[in-house]
Structure 1
Amino acid sequence: MNDAPKPVRIAVGLWLATAVFVLFTVVGLWFQRGHVQELTKWSSDQVTSFLVTLTVVAVIFAAAYAWLTRAFLRRKNWARVALSVISIVHMIWILFLGVSAANLVTLLLICVAIVFTWQSRTAQWLAEVREQ
């Protein structure tokens, strides 16, 4: 990563921050389980089912971000495309869940990561491998 330009390093940091933030958010929801049940008026089983689903999805997204970021650092152009596709799916999932402060932070992280991932300096850095 030492030879990577600043936009690449920023993009990598943002993708990994997104992965970590998503996991911390879902862990936080487990600690607020009672509050979730109180707000939704769901039974304990419904809340558990909801949180398990959120946890599975969060782990899948976090793992995808981590794996694809690693490939991106290895200068795989397909990883840049895949990160963008996964992040769009993630944003749709977030919009499906509804508005919350954590979801807005996640959306912001994703949007800024996409911007840095697709900057011209990043494209040049990826193209250098194909030229060698």
Structure 2
Amino acid sequence: MNDAPRPVRIAVGLWLAIAVFVLFTTAGLWFQRGEIERLSGRPSGEVTNFLVAITVVSVLFAAGYGWLTRMFLKRKNWPRIALSLMAIVHMLWLLLVGVSPAALVTLLLICVAIVFTWQARTAQWLAEVREQ
């Protein structure tokens, strides 16, 4: 990654930050389980099922971001497309689950990561490998 231009390093950092932030946000929900039960008025079992589902999806997104970022660093173009598509699905999922401050931060991070992922300097860095 030392030879990567600044936009690539920023994009990689953002994708990895999104993965970590998603995991920490999900872990935080488990600590707020009692509050979720109280606010939703749902029984404990339903809240647990909801949290398990959220956890599974979050781990899948985090693992996907991590793996695709690793592939992106190998200077392949397809992970850039896959990261963007996964990010769009993630944004839609966040909007469906419900808007919260953490969701808004995640949405902002995703938008900025997509911008850096698709900058001209990033495309040039990827194209240099194909030219060799």
Give the alignment's TM-score, normalised by structure 1. 0.99
Q: Distance in 1 between matches of 2:117 and 2:39?
A: 38
1:42 aligned partner: 42
Q: Distance in 2 between matches of 1:104 and 1:6?
A: 25
Q: Deviations over 1:19-78 (max 9, x none)?
A: 000000000000010001111111000000000000000000000000000000000100
1:101 aligned partner: 101
Deviation at 1:125, TM superposition (A): 0.1
2:27 aligned partner: 27
**Correspondence 1:71-110 to 2 at 5 A:** 71-110=71-110
1:6 aligned partner: 6
Give unmatched runs, 5+ long, in structure 1.
none
Q: Distance in 2 between matches of 1:29 and 1:98?
A: 13
Q: Distance in 2 between matches of 1:127 and 1:28?
A: 41
**Correspondence 1:33-72 to 2 at 5 A:** 33-72=33-72
* Structure 1 runs of 4+ with >4 Å offset: none
Q: Distance in 1 between matches of 2:37 and 2:62?
A: 25
SS in structure 2 opposite 1:108? Answer: helix
Deviation at 1:98, TM superposition (A): 1.2
Q: Deviations over 1:73-110 (max 9, x none)?
A: 00010000000000000000001011100000000000
RMSD: 0.3
Q: Distance in 2 between matches of 1:44 and 1:4?
A: 49
SS in structure 1 opposite 2:94? Answer: helix
Q: Distance in 2 between matches of 1:56 and 1:108?
A: 22
The one-letter code matched in structure 2 to 1:107 is L
1:125 aligned partner: 125
Q: Distance in 1 between matches of 2:42 and 2:26?
A: 18
